[in-house]
Amino acid sequence: MSWLNEFVRPKIRKLVGKKDVPDNLWQKCPSCEQMLFHRELSDNLHVCHACGHHLRLAAKDRLTLLFDNGEFTGVGFAAVTADPLKFRDNRRYTDRLKDAKNKSGEKEAILVGHGTVSGQNAVIAAFDFGFMGGSMGQAVGEGLLSAARAAIDANAALIVVPASGGARMQEGMLSLIQMPRTILAVEQVREAGLPYIVILTDPTTGGVSASFAMIGDIQIAEPGANIGFAGKRVIRDTIREELPEGFQTSESLLDHGMLDMVVPRSEMRATVGNVLALLRDGRTKRSSESGIPVAGISATNNAQIAAAANRADGK
Ligand SMILES: [Zn+2]
């Protein structure tokens, strides 16, 4: 039989040609459980057409979505020791890393690019939740540092898009050190007089929400994202009280003054571009304040931009 497998089958495959069919044609919406066809989903920027739920995006898709025409130059970062603690739980950390790399096609849980967002010069660092829960280890810290340096070198704004469960436990203390490290990187961007914008996506928790992710000049979030430090269940069991509905969602954080705006994915690029123009030269300020709609941005969003700009001016 071996000649069938080794000789005939490859010949037939070659003849027929490998069909380019994705593994998962259908995906279930995590919110309303509607079955979503992959093509419709990608046409709709991975937002459920039935309930508006914003599904998670891979880092590469995020950069493509935010940069003009999906074009950007990749920003590399220094290599780190792969498994400094020789960590092993029920599996080796190195094996988990290998799997994550194969599955995501990325080297780490962060991807950095330089380009323009609605014509504004920007460096974007996007997290990939699919890569070990977007956890922040040494490599992710390096990625953020490189992003900050690239922004300063190119006189560009720094935009970070977290999607992370927090620190990478397999790197122990070395991952916790990334918290102050990334804050210092942001400080350098500030000292250079450049804007720093955070776009919080689902989920942003733990050591990531406790460091660079909450100190943007302007804090934006996608609708319905889970944002917090400790998980809901942990908090409920600690304080022994029922938590209000919508606890730790973007909308509740906006109501409680933790965010400047909640922006749907379809309006994100135009909004970020407008915010950057406003912060860098005040060009669009008048149009925002007078309520004249800016292309691609809804009226509510426009009002939020004006309010956020006034707050940033007061800083
Ligand atoms: Zn849905």
Distance of CA 223 from the midpoint of ligand 1 (Å): 13
Cα→Cα distances 23→16, 20, 26, 43, Å: 19, 10, 9, 18
Domain ranges for the chain:
21-55, 56-314
Distance of CA 32 from the midpoint of ligand 1 (Å): 4
Distance of CA 48 from the midpoint of ligand 1 (Å): 5
What residues contact residue 26 under an 8 Å CB cut-off, 6+ apart?
A: 35, 36, 37, 38
Q: State the pLDDT at residue 1.
A: 57
- The four Cα atoms 240, 245, 251, 255 give a dihedral, to 10 degrees, of -70
Distance of CA 163 from the midpoint of ligand 1 (Å): 20
Given the DSSP bridges, would you call strands 35-37 and 73-74 parallel, antiparallel or unpaired?
A: unpaired
Distance of CA 30 from the midpoint of ligand 1 (Å): 7
Q: State the pLDDT at residue 3.
A: 74
Residue 230 tokens read as 């400790």
Distance of CA 180 from the midpoint of ligand 1 (Å): 37
Of the candidates 91, 124, 267, the one whose C-alpha atom is nearest the C-alpha of residue 197 is 124
Q: State the pLDDT at residue 295.
A: 59
The burial of 201, by beta-carbon neighbours within 10 Å (0-12 exposed, 13-18 middle, 19 or more buried), is given as: buried
pLDDT tens per residue, the chain (315 residues)? Answer: 567 777 777 777 777 665 555 567 999 999 999 999 999 999 999 999 999 999 999 999 999 999 999 999 999 999 999 999 999 999 999 999 999 999 999 999 999 999 999 999 999 999 999 999 999 999 999 999 999 999 999 999 999 999 999 999 999 999 999 999 999 999 999 999 999 999 999 999 999 999 999 999 999 999 999 999 999 999 999 999 999 999 999 999 999 999 999 999 999 999 999 999 999 876 544 445 544 445 567 777 777 787 777 777 665
pLDDT tens for 171-182 read 999 999 999 999
Distance of CA 38 from the midpoint of ligand 1 (Å): 13
Q: State the pLDDT at residue 165.
A: 96
Q: State the pLDDT at residue 76.
A: 96
Of the candidates 141, 143, 140, 121, the one whose C-alpha atom is nearest the C-alpha of residue 75 is 143
Distance of CA 114 from the midpoint of ligand 1 (Å): 32
Strand positions, DSSP E, 14-161: 26-28, 35-37, 73-74, 110-117, 120-127, 157-161
Q: State the pLDDT at residue 22.
A: 56
Distance of CA 87 from the midpoint of ligand 1 (Å): 38
Distance CA 119, CA 172 (A): 41
Q: State the pLDDT at residue 286.
A: 45
The pTM for the full model equals 0.86
Q: State the pLDDT at residue 314.
A: 61
Of the candidates 151, 163, 166, the one whose C-alpha atom is nearest the C-alpha of residue 61 is 163
What are the backbone angles phi and psi of residue 47, rounded to the nearest 5°?
-115, 130
Q: State the pLDDT at residue 292.
A: 46
Distance of CA 29 from the midpoint of ligand 1 (Å): 5
Distance of CA 117 from the midpoint of ligand 1 (Å): 28
Q: State the pLDDT at residue 307.
A: 79
Distance of CA 77 from the midpoint of ligand 1 (Å): 37
Distance of CA 54 from the midpoint of ligand 1 (Å): 8
Report whether CATH 2.60.40.60 matches the domain 56-314. Answer: no
Distance CA 254, CA 201 (A): 14
Count Cβ atoms below 10 Å from residue 46 Cβ, excluding itself.
20
